[in-house]
Amino acid sequence: MKRILLAIVALAVIAAGAWFFLLRSSGIPVYAVTVAATHPHDPTAFTEGLFFHDGALYEGTGEIGSSYVRKVDPASGKVLQQVELPAPYFGEGIIAFGDKLYQVTWQDKTGFTYNLKDFSLGDTFSYTGEGWGMTQNGKNIILSDGTPVLRFLDPKTMQPVSTLKVTANGCPVEKLNELEWVDGEIWANIWQTNLIARIDPASGHVNSFLDISALGPRNRDVDDVPNGIAYDSATKRIFVAGKRWPQLYEIKQGAAMNNNEEATKLTRCAG
Ligand SMILES: [Ca+2]
């Protein structure tokens, strides 16, 4: 009897250990990336917004006095069109919807619209909190603000119609930055990490991470973080950029990675 009891206790300890291990490991896959192509990128551009439209890349930059929106030829990096955002504004995310281009600002609670074709200034709009990244899903403009909550905005009024809390293994994911709608998922740079989160827009759950630490200049300023994802749905090309990076990359998902430190940190909110 004593032996049976001991065996039961031992089994219970093993089961508890296994359960604890399962709780502790996120189970969220992390993938490296491979580089399909590199393109020139203006090494002074403090990238805050990036999207692809009709064969061209559109980039929005930040910092007061050097914020602008520009249209760029992806192959050469040549600037085809540009509009400045004057001081005191600090430019952040940009996105196209219909025939308009939208731009938010970091802490000014003011957004701008432009004619997508000629970059002439249109209406301004207001919002609460900060403005970080933007993308769109064909129906709503999606806005990040540095918190784990994404806002879905009506493009006509720029007022929120719903929100989505983003979690990874149950942990809220802070500092969601530049965004991209990629084949039914929301992809997001996570500020000051090398990770791109792939988010299920229905549940807000992160289904995987891409680690882009292999990209960008080796010795870079602390502010020159990865930021900027643009998807060309026609050719399925994914472009990624970073602040003041001299190159822009076309990437593909690479091999699964084990023990990714940044992902582990994000998925262990409980301890
Ligand atoms: Ca984007």
Per residue in 141-170, pLDDT (tens digit) is 999 999 999 999 999 999 999 999 999 999
Does 250 reside within a domain? yes
- Does residue 133 lie in a domain region? yes
Domain assignment present for 2 = no
Q: How far, in Å, is the centroid of ligand 1 from the Cα of 240?
A: 9
Neighbours of ion ligand 1 (CB under 5 A): 50-51, 180, 229
User: How many Å lie between the centroid of ligand 1 and the Cα of residue 29?
Assistant: 22
Confidence band (pLDDT; 50, 70, 90) for 2?
Answer: low
Assess if residue 153 is contained within a domain: yes
Distance 169 CA to ligand 1 centre (A): 24
pLDDT at 132 over 90: yes
**Percentage of the chain modeled with pLDDT above 90:** 89
Between 24 and 84, the more confident residue is 84
Separation of CA 69 and ligand 1 centre (Å): 13
Side chain identity at 70, as an amino acid letter? R
Please indicate, yes or no, if residue 94 is contained in any of the structural domains.
yes
Question: Could you tell me whether strands 206-211 and 30-40 are parallel, antiparallel, or unpaired per DSSP bridges?
Answer: parallel
Predicted local distance difference test score (pLDDT) of residue 185: 98
- Take residue 63 and report the two structure tokens written for it: 């910092």
- 12 domain-assigned: no
Q: State the residue range of the domain holding 165.
A: 29-266
Asked if the structure places residue 271 within a domain, the reply is: no
* Count of beta carbons in the 10 Å neighbourhood of residue 175: 17
* pTM reported for the whole predicted model: 0.90
- Rounded Cα gap, residues 69 and 47, in angstroms: 10
Positive or negative: CA dihedral 99, 40, 226, 108: negative
pLDDT tens-digit readout, 61-78: 999 999 999 999 999 999
Q: How many angstroms is it from 201 CA to the middle of ligand 1?
A: 15
CATH number at residue 189: 2.120.10.30
What are the residues whose beta carbons fall under 8 Å from the beta carbon of 146, sequence distance 6 or more? 130, 132, 174, 175, 176, 177, 191
Cα 16 to middle of ligand 1, angstroms = 43
- How far, in Å, from the CA of 230 to the mean position of ligand 1? 5
Q: Which residue has the tokens 């990336």?
A: 33
